[in-house]
Amino acid sequence: MQLHRELHTIRSRGAELVVVGQGNSRWARAFRERLALQNPVYVDPEREIYGALGMKRGIASQLTLGALKNYWRALRSGHFPRGLLGDTLQQGGVLVVLPGGRIAYRYLSREAGDHPPVADVLAALPALGAGVTTRT
């Protein structure tokens, strides 16, 4: 999660950052407190929305060379996982959604630790009315 550091920029462009995770409300509350998030955090308990929006799930997206490199990079940057909660095979992603439910940007993580370039997400915000950018 890097986007929370861009909350001010996101809000300055008239948008809101919403974090969605899997599991339960208690985990979500602890996550929000630990990272001192100022934005809303919600839970998709059965991962119904993850699946409907195309987020990957499976061992093939978990045990990859890229995932290992991402894990090592996270460790080197001082991010030590506190344990995996929920479905460990589930990957995440980022969408920029406009009023009416139009998708301006979609990034589906290929493997663990795969995040969209923050600049790409921010670039999608003022690009209202532009076509969908999808990268899986």
Partner 1 sequence: MEQIGEHVARAKLRTIDEGEVELRRLWENGPVVLAFVRHFG
In the complex, the residues that contact partner 1 under the rule CB under 8 A are: 1, 3, 10, 13-25, 27-32, 40-45, 48-50, 52-53, 55, 81-88, 90-104, 106, 109, 112, 121, 125, 128-132, 134
User: 23 vs 64, which CB is nearer to partner 1?
Assistant: 23
Vertex 101, ends 134 and 8: CA angle to 5°?
80
Closest approach of partner 1 to the CB of residue 98, in Å:
5
Closest approach of partner 1 to the CB of residue 59, in Å:
14
User: 59 vs 84, which CB is nearer to partner 1?
Assistant: 84
Closest approach of partner 1 to the CB of residue 16, in Å:
5
Rounded Cα gap, residues 52 and 62, in angstroms? 20
Rounded Cα gap, residues 23 and 14, in angstroms? 29
Residues contacting residue 49 through CB under 8 Å, at least 6 positions apart: 20
Closest approach of partner 1 to the CB of residue 55, in Å:
6
User: 49 vs 75, which CB is nearer to partner 1?
Assistant: 49
Q: How far apart are the first and last CA of the chain?
A: 18
Cα 105 to chain centroid, rounded:
12
